[in-house]
Amino acid sequence: MSVPPLLACAVAAALYALGGAGRSGAAPRGRRWREACFYLGIALMFVALEPPFDNWADTSFAMHMVQHVVLLTIAPPLLVLGRPWPRMWMPFPAEARRAVVRSLARGRWSAPLRLAARWATKPPVAIAILSVAIG
């Protein structure tokens, strides 16, 4: 069973919004810019995965390819520019966050994951992975 795009986009947007709530004062321009990028990326994913666009992608090869471009090359960079991880963690209790981070950082089970992440996040490797995914 797959998660409906509306639900996934709504949960991501809600966690991001809750993670940024409670900050005092006016938002600095850089933070507003990051928020705009993140929400635009979420909106583009939602539009590309829901009707009528998804229905058009099922019947038209051109629209199907536009859907691929949006989902693989436009929305992801916007989401990354929004720096979601620090904010999306904040709504969870501090002790739960600490336990997860401790387990990921020091856990024996996560050593292969850390190694893969270190390798896959090198720019040439990341570009190669993107090229394979698109191709």
Q: Residues 6 or more apart from 56 whose CB is under 8 A from it?
A: 63
Quickly tell me which residue has 């986009």 as its tokens: 9
Mean pLDDT score of the chain:
91
Q: How far apart are CA 62 and CA 56, in angstroms?
A: 9
Per-residue tens of pLDDT for the chain, all 135 residues = 578 999 999 999 999 999 988 765 566 777 899 999 999 999 999 999 999 999 999 999 999 999 999 998 899 999 999 999 889 999 999 999 999 999 999 999 999 999 999 999 898 998 898 888 877
pLDDT tens-digit readout, 106-134: 999 999 999 999 999 898 998 898 888 87
The pLDDT score that the predictor gives to residue 127 is 87
Measured CA to CA, the distance from residue 5 to residue 131 in angstroms comes to: 25
What percent of the chain lies above the pLDDT cut of 70?
A: 95
- Residue written as tokens 């904010």? 87
Written as one letter, the residue type at 20 is G
Please tell me the predicted confidence (pLDDT) of residue 96.
95
Alpha-carbon distance values, 64 to 39, 53, 73, 127 (Å): 23, 9, 14, 23
Residue type, 15: L
In this prediction the pTM is 0.79
Which is nearest to 91 in space by CA: 27, 4, 30, 12?
Answer: 12
Give the span between the Cα atoms of 57 and 63, in whole angstroms.
5
